[in-house]
Chains A and B, each alone.
Chain A
């Protein structure tokens, strides 16, 4: 049996997986979805069909997440990306990163780890083993980022960059 409230809530939670004001954004989006559903129901569609049409009209959750992600604060973005990189959460990276932001992230991560490896090596005169571990850590984000497929519209972003 189709449970409209549960479906709407689940869909909205999927669009807003992170953020300090997550609940507020979920409530706002849910209100919008219900408005769309009502307009479809008034046209004679069942609640289930109306829900599908409403969410299709809003766009894929991936597109929406990306739209919303860019309106988050820099701190919130950095926290989500850092956590996704540390945990190897490719799905989150795939939902949030565009070609342009992925390029900046690669540059940022490479500079950070290059500086870190150099500083540690010069300060502690590390062994080859330790340096190797650092290099492995350095390359891990690249491997993860390489797994991330470009999001829709990346070509546009890259063209503009």
Chain B
């Protein structure tokens, strides 16, 4: 569903498990910056990763709906600049707490990887 470009000309497939694990902290991090909507979230993921991480558009909405069910985010209807209805998502207090927890967990994994690789970049 998503592919990460390691170097021009070579592509490295990111496993579904890693995509699934990273999707929640990524979405929550984007919403921490401010309210957003589906299309914009996908664009931000693409831009933040310099195009390395491209989510399939279809996978985002089930994630957003799941986060809403878990009470981590809330949604409201607004209006797009073209006058159409647009659904925005906002981070809730519980979402901030979960994001903090998940960031700590990701940092720990990152530290372990760095230690095991002697601080060298993972591509070495």
Contact = CB atoms under 8 A, between A and B. Distances in A.
Contacts of A38: 82
Given A31-B37, A32-B57, A67 B85 contact: no
Interface stretch (A55-63, A83-91, A134-142): A55-63
Given A29-B61, A32-B61, A36-B39, 4 more contacts: A24-B87, A34-B84, A67-B62, A71-B69
A107 B94 CA distance: 37
A67 B58 contact: yes
Contacts of B56: 59
A4 interface: no
A57 B56 CA distance: 8
Contacts of A30: 84
Contacts of A58: 57-58
26 contacts: A25-B61, A27-B85, A27-B87, A28-B61, A28-B87, A30-B84, A31-B80, A31-B84, A31-B85, A31-B87, A32-B57, A32-B61, A36-B57, A38-B82, A57-B57, A58-B57, A59-B56, A59-B57, A59-B58, A64-B58, A67-B59, A67-B62, A68-B62, A70-B62, A71-B62, A71-B69
A156 B57 contact: no
B44 interface: no
Interface in A40-91: 57-59, 63-64, 67-68, 70-71
A32 B82 CA distance: 12
Contacts of A35: 39
B38 interface: yes
B44 to A, nearest CB: 13
- Chain B interface SS verdict (over half): helix
Contacts of B61: 25, 28-29, 32, 67-68, 71
Contacts of A27: 84-85, 87
Interface in B16-49: 16, 37-39
Interface in B61-107: 61-62, 65-66, 69, 80, 82, 84-87
Contacts of B87: 24, 27-28, 31
B57 A71 contact: no
Contacts of B69: 71
